[in-house]
Chain A
Amino acid sequence: MIEPVIVVENLTRRFGDFVAVDHINFEVQAGEVVGYLGPNGSGKTTTIRMLLGLLKPSDGKATVLGYDVFKQSEEIRARVGYMSQKFAIYDDLTTLENLTFYGGVYGINDKARIQRTLELVGLKGHENTLTKDMSTGWRQRLSLGIALVHEPKLLFLDEPTSGVDPTARRAFWDLIYELAEGGVTILVTTHYMDEAEYCERVGVMRDGKLLALDTPTNLKKSIIIGDVWEVYTHPLERGVEILSAMPGVERVGLSGDHLRVISSQVKQDAMQSLLSRAGLRVEKIEKGEPTLEDVFLTLAR
């Protein structure tokens, strides 16, 4: 039996009276791609910092790659990669120079390994490009390369594709899946549902608690109880007021030119007639698909 890469038991961190992370439990297996979501201040970053051994837990325990986060934080840090949106790439250095520099920080001087990393992230042929001349998508690949140069077994990604378009995001995730196939475990924190949809399992945090951790499909099934309706009505503002007050309606959200209504009891006809009676114009009411954003908003409120 292979041991899980991350084992977290009752992990807790207090700052004075404030409980930033409150008795969370989870496991992650080798080669898994796990997303970690939560509003600002929900305890996501505190959790990651504890897992990286940068912050001592107040209570509970956690092992990463078999090492205790309390006692063996240096062992952990030597074996994990970390890619942040705010990662510093030296603009006046080329791709190769950046990679060589950061490799040196990890004690990697093997030229072949640096070449391998360049190839892996698809930057071969661009060794001598100055990074300031590269697009956001390419800079992200370089950041990933920097996080991978010491061949970590576990990779933390913090909003890895923030600000890039779907095509570049797709290309980036193809790389991530390739790494996972090779046995690297990936933990992604993000605010973007576009990004979370790519993860095999997604955890949602709020107020220091881990509210759910499951596949996107299961989360949509278990958290969104009922149907999602897309209601095209005019004026929208009045529509929100009326439908929010309707018994049996769980949530109403504005979505550009229509409303998104979640309800397990209320059906199309009932909404239609209630809105019409109030003098609103109803263009159409369609059934929608639940999204991870619906899940997030349901859990976060």
Chain B
Amino acid sequence: MTNYLVQANGIKKYFGKVHAVDGVDLNIKAGEIYGLVGSDGAGKTTTMRLLVGALLPDQGDVTICGYDLRKQTELARSTIGYLSQRFSMYEDLTVLENIRFFAEIRGLSSTEWLPRSMEILEFVGLDKFKDRRAGQLSGGMKQKLGLASALVTRPRLLLLDEPTTGVDPVTRQDFWQLVIKLVSTPHVDSPPVFGEHGRMSEEQGGVSVIISTPYMDEASRCHRVGFMREGKIIAEDTPSNLRARFNNRVLELRGSPINKLRHVAHQDEDVEDVAAFGDKLHVRVRAGKTDLIMKRLPEEIKSAGGTVTDLRVIPPALEDVFIALSESNHD
């Protein structure tokens, strides 16, 4: 028996000749934060739209909370909250009126939405601003209102499409604290039927979150990350396991002149990639060649007339993994 909250099996979506989503499988547990990352056009947004039921897959199927998205569309959708990149709100309405609007179009009666709204406003920290017009909120508060609106139906699955674009780090930190709180709190009223064998117990966790993001600092906060490329998920794991794939293969190089260092490193046949980061370089080396490069590179730089002030192995960042996966020749 499955205990996944979201299951996608071999979903495909073609737009003419473009294979936007080309056989994606997803198994997401309750209480899990899953990050979908990838380049522009890798299929992230199409995948999100297939999961929310805005598009139907050409092949494969999606099950959410045990409901088949194709056959039980309305029931499946009733378990989803969605916060899109540019969520719409009515600037002339107050915070509470906005939430009421979203609650009513989702079919909640006033006896249901009012207590719930207050509870959710408190959760996101907007309870003191419930009578303020949405147009008068700061960027971070608007984003929290968007989240509150997506949460008013008490979804089991929250889909966040690049939610923190244009928001400063302090606000983003706050937003993430809310998301993490949400997934670590048991969900109060799970849907009556979950899978074939009855209810899911509260211990099984809170809301699940699927988030798409181009930012690696954001991806690193997810429990698991799926890298998409050409409509497929080419790697899927926890951020630390993904990073571990490149352990001992990323070097930090400092010295001068930095451009000379960069060119010399580029020319070494065992160097896969060189990236400039302001005052330093990140050098990714071929597997098993680290010791060799640590010896050889300073010599190469010296004979080219440059100086090395520091060369050391550093823990790989998720960005290093992303670049390596984007460049790799699979198939």
Decide if A and B are genuine partners: yes
Q: Which residues in A have some Cβ–Cβ distance to B below 8 Å?
A: 33, 37-41, 85, 135-137, 159, 162-168, 170, 173-174, 177, 181, 191-194, 197-202, 215-217, 235-237, 253-257, 289, 291, 293, 296-297, 300-301
Interface: B294 (CB within 8 A): no
Task: In the A-B complex, list the 6 residue pairs whose CB atoms are closest, starting with the nearest.
Answer: A256-B221, A39-B168, A165-B39, A135-B40, A200-B278, A254-B180
A173 adjacent to B167 (CB under 8 Å):
no
Are B223 and A256 closer than 8 Å at their CB atoms?
yes
CB of B168 to closest CB in A, whole Å: 4
Alpha-carbon distance A193/B173, docked complex (angstroms): 12
Give, as a whole number of angstroms, the nearest-CB distance from B137 to chain A. Answer: 12
Counting chain B CB atoms within 10 Å of each CB, the highest count among A166, A215, A235 belongs to A166
> Does A256 lie within 8 Å of B222, measured CB to CB?
yes
Counting CB contacts under 8 A, is B176 at the interface?
yes
Comparing B1-9, B128-136, B314-322, the segment that makes contact with chain A is B314-322
User: In the complex, A41 Cα to B140 Cα: how many Å?
Assistant: 12
Q: Is the CB of A301 within 8 A of B170?
A: yes
Which residue from A37, A168, A198, A217 sits with its C-beta under 8 Å from B39?
Answer: A168
Whether A162 and B166, one on each chain, are in contact in the complex, defined by CB atoms closer than 8 angstroms, is yes
Q: List residues of chain A with CB within 8 A of the CB of B42.
A: 165
Q: How far is the CA of A86 from the CA of B244 in the complex (A)?
A: 38
CA distance A169 to B45 in the complex (A): 19
Chain A residues whose C-beta falls within 8 Å of the C-beta of B259 in the assembled complex: 181
What's the least CB distance linking B78 to chain A, in Å? 28
B168 touches A166 (CB 8 A): no
CB neighbours (8 Å) of B140 from chain A are 40
Pull 10 A–B residue pairs with CB atoms less than 8 Å apart, ordered by A. A41-B138, A165-B38, A166-B319, A167-B327, A181-B259, A191-B169, A201-B278, A215-B279, A253-B177, A297-B173
Alpha-carbon distance A174/B171, docked complex (angstroms): 29
Interface presence of B220 (CB below 8 A): yes
Q: Is B107 an interface residue (CB 8 A)?
A: no
Q: Answer yes or no: B202 CB below 8 A from chain A CBs.
A: no
Contact of A217 among B181, B184, B280 (CB under 8 A): B280
Given contacts A163-B162, A200-B279, 17 further A-B contacts (CB under 8 A): A37-B169, A40-B138, A40-B171, A136-B40, A162-B166, A163-B165, A163-B214, A165-B40, A167-B326, A168-B39, A170-B323, A216-B277, A217-B279, A236-B180, A237-B184, A257-B33, A257-B223
The answer to whether A193 touches B177, judged by C-beta atoms less than 8 angstroms apart, is no
Give the size range of B's interface with the partner: 35 or more
| Chain B 137-190 residues near chain A, CB threshold 8 A | 138-140, 162, 165-173, 176-177, 180-181, 184
Q: Given that A166-B323, A194-B216, A237-B184 are known contacts, is A159 also in contact with B166, CB under 8 Å in the complex?
A: yes
Complex: chain B residue closest to A217, CB-CB: B279
Of B169, B184, B280, most buried by chain A (CB within 10 Å of CB) is B169
Contacts of B319 in A (CB 8 A): 166, 194
Q: Which of B171, B180, B275, B322 is in CB contact (< 8 Å) with A39? A: B171
- Check if B169 sits within 8 Å of A165, measured CB to CB: no
Q: Write the chain A residue with the least CB distance to B326.
A: A167
Say if the beta carbon of B217 comes within 8 Å of chain A: yes
Q: Please state if B39 and A170 are interface contacts (CB–CB under 8 Å).
A: no
Partner of B278, one of A165, A215, A255: A215
A85 and B214 alpha carbons, distance in the complex (Å): 16
What separation, in Å, do the CA atoms of A300 and B172 have in the docked complex? Answer: 13
Q: State the CA gap A37–B170 with chains docked (Å).
A: 11
Among B180, B222, B239, find the residue whose CB has the most chain A CB atoms closer than 10 A.
B180
Most buried by A among B214, B323, B326: B214
B305 within 8 A of A: no
Q: How far is the CB of B277 from chain A (nearest CB, A)?
A: 5
- Cβ of B40 and Cβ of A164 under 8 Å apart? yes
> Does any Cβ of A come within 8 Å of B276's Cβ?
yes
Chain B residue with Cβ nearest A191: B168
Q: Mark B196-237, 1 if CB is under 8 A from A, else 0.
A: 000000000000000000111100111100000000000000
- Return A21 CB to nearest CB of chain B, in Å: 17
Cβ of B238 < 8 Å from any Cβ of A? yes
